[in-house]
Amino acid sequence: MKKDKYKVYRYLSIFFIILSVAGFIVSTQKKDKSAVMEERGSSKEFKFNLKLESNHNYFFSFWVVDEETGFRWAEVSSYAEIIINDSIIHSKTIDFSESEETGGIKRAQNGFDYNYKPNKSTEAVIKGVMYKGDYWEIKIYDNISEVENIKPGLFIILFIVSLFLFLKLRKSKNS
């Protein structure tokens, strides 16, 4: 009986590992397909215009990244704003430093996400200045919900938990 219970849990953990990998791939592809603008650059100043359609939900994502090697400290500093009808609907000053090192590279990254649903067709202006950092990245998605945005991360968590369960079951079988 105990052996059958072990097999059920083992197959369930394998199922969830496969489900999490497939879910991550599908949700990432779905998110990428809904992108209406993706820009990445290293210029100090940036400005982009985008036509927005009425009753669409737009998800704005802005990030600044700095990567350093050696003894230098990774640090980002930037200001960005979203303007609709000559009014700033969202703005943020970003100052962040990080000493965490991965593979010999120190990385600092910070930014913001913002949702907007216009009542009528209009134009958005995204502009800002990067004071410190290597590059900035702007992504705008059309009709993507908050849940759709975080699904890839949720599938990563499901994968980690399933893998942990699988390895724990494997260890308990060998004990």
pLDDT of residue 87: 93
Instruction: Tell me which residue range forms the domain holding 158.
Output: 1-34+146-175
Query: Which CA distances in Å does 142 have to 23, 117, 137, 147, 163?
Result: 20, 10, 17, 14, 34
Q: How far apart are CA 158 and CA 172, in angstroms?
A: 21
Tally of domains within the chain: 2
pLDDT of residue 51: 95
- The reply to whether 23 and 11 lie within a common domain is yes
- The reply to whether 111 and 45 lie within a common domain is yes
- The reply to whether 39 and 72 lie within a common domain is yes
- The reply to whether 22 and 104 lie within a common domain is no
- The reply to whether 41 and 4 lie within a common domain is no
Using the CB atoms, write b or e for 39-75: b if 16+ within 10 Å. Answer: eeeeeeebeeebebeeeeebbbbbbbbbebeeeeebb
pLDDT of residue 28: 87
Share of the chain above pLDDT 70, in %: 94
- The reply to whether 66 and 124 lie within a common domain is yes
Handedness of CA 47, 43, 64, 143 (dihedral sign): positive
Q: How far apart are CA 88 and CA 54, in angstroms?
A: 18
CATH number, domain with residue 111: 2.60.120
User: For residue 3, is pLDDT > 70?
Assistant: no
pLDDT of residue 1: 46
User: For residue 49, is pLDDT > 90?
Assistant: yes
- pLDDT tens for each residue of 135-172: 999 999 998 877 887 888 899 999 999 998 888 877 77
Q: Rounded to two decimals, what is the model's pTM?
A: 0.75
Compute φ and ψ for 82, nearest 5 degrees: -115, 125
Q: In the predicted model, what is the mean pLDDT of residues 108-124? A: 91
- The reply to whether 29 and 96 lie within a common domain is no
- pLDDT tens for each residue of 77-112: 999 999 999 999 999 999 888 766 777 778 888 899
